[in-house]
Chains A and B, each alone.
Chain A
Amino acid sequence: MPDDNAWENRDVSGRLVMEESLDDIRAAGSDLSGWRIWRSTIKTFNLNDCRFNNCWAHESQWRELTFDHCLCRYGFYSQCTFNKMSAESSFFNDSHFVDCRFEGSVGELNSFGLCGFENCRWSGSRLSEVSFIGTRWRGCLLEGESYSFVRFPSAVFVQARFVDCNLRKAIFRRAVFVACRFENCRLKEAVFHNARFVDTVFEGTDIHEAANLEGAEGLQW
């Protein structure tokens, strides 16, 4: 009997998912680009070697979402919750996230380059070697995040709060922080080379833990 939830080398692009619940989808080598998702719940969604480009999602819940070697570029997601997302060797570049929640994510060697995050909340993530190069963050909360070699070069943070984060070896080279707060964060071996700080506060956070502050401007001691 065919397994309707196992999609191998299939073109399932352009699908509309409206007030639906999808559960236990396993896709390999398939094209899921152009999906439009509205007020839906998607649970246990495993994408391996798939395209998931140009997706649009609003007011949707994603649980146990797994991306392995996937292209997920040019997406727009608003009021979505991503719970226990796992991603490896995948591209999420040039996507935009508004009022989204990322809870308990794990990731390695992914790229979120040039993405935008507005009023988003990341909590409890464990990320290693993930690139957020050139990203824009406005009004975001990053809480209980744990990073290793996560890269934010040339990122711009406006009114962002980092709370109880372990930003070990995070790279903020040439990043800009405007009206941001670091609260009870660990910055051991983090890099802020040529970073710029405007009205940014460090509370319970020792900026001197950083390995490189050369060229950093606007730090308030």
Chain B
Amino acid sequence: MVIADNLIFRRFTLGFARINGYLLAERESRQGVFIDPGGYNDLVASFIEEHQIELRHIFFTHGHIDHMAGLEEFRRRYAVRCCAGKEEVRAASRILHGGERIELAGFNFTALSTAGHTPGGISYYCRKVGVFTGDALFSGSVGGTGSALEGQLQLEQVRRNIFSLPDETLVFPGHGPLTTVAAERYGNPFFS
């Protein structure tokens, strides 16, 4: 998807829960990041090999098993550094709370707290690309929570940290179709 001229981008359907995993890499350096390794399959392997991507990072939006079931395979094949929210993923070497900047080959990501679905849920925003929301925000819906308070927190965090992004921002959720900030802000019934 030619979102940015120097970006290689691919969405993969992964694992038993058919989650969305996303691969981003800078076209010149070939350095890349995988967001939510919910599985590993031949399509991922061949894409990385064909595009000669040097996978450097794995970002986790949260630590549910359907979003990290492929972690061991990724770690076996690539020298990756894992980033996740607090107490979400044991393998994470960089713990995020929201507000941190992560630079990857010219792409600057900002970690945004979207707790609620899980206590340390993180979304990743890159101005040139969009925002990766995991299960905090779906098209027309939100991920489930364990209590009403957590549900309320999730809505507040999405309102504050995702809906404050520019309208045209592309949203890449952990499940289901892709969307935009404007479409969700004006059309998602959970925020009405």
The interface on chain B, measured as residues whose beta carbon lies within 8 A of the other chain's beta carbons, has a size of 25
- Given A91-B170, A153-B188, A154-B188 in contact, is the A113-B183 Cβ separation under 8 Å? yes
A166 within 8 A of B: no
User: In this assembly, does B166 line the interface, its C-beta being within 8 Å of a C-beta of chain A?
Assistant: no
Q: Which residues of A contact B (CB under 8 A)?
A: 29-31, 49-51, 69-71, 89-91, 93-94, 109-111, 113-114, 129-131, 133-134, 149, 151, 153-155, 171, 173-174, 193-194
B11 to chain A: closest residue by CB? A89
Q: In the assembled complex, which residues on chain B have CB atoms less than 8 Å from the CB atom of A153? A: 139-141, 187-189
Task: Say how far B185's CB is from chain A's closest CB, in angstroms.
Answer: 9
Which of B1, B187, B189, B192 counts the most chain A CB atoms within 10 A?
B187
Tell me the dominant secondary structure on chain B's binding face: mixed
Q: Do A134 and B187 have beta carbons less than 8 Å apart?
A: yes
Nearest residue, chain B, Cβ from A107: B177
B10 adjacent to chain A (CB < 8 Å): yes
- Which residues of B are found within 8 Å of A173, using beta-carbon distances? 140-141, 189
A-B contact count (CB 8 A): 104
Give Cα A141–Cα B184 distance, bound, in whole angstroms. Answer: 26
For residue A171, which residues in chain B have a CB less than 8 angstroms away from its CB? 140-141
Residue among B140, B178, B188 having the largest count of chain A Cβ atoms under 10 Å: B140
Residue from the list B13, B20, B177 in contact with A111, Cβ < 8 A: B177
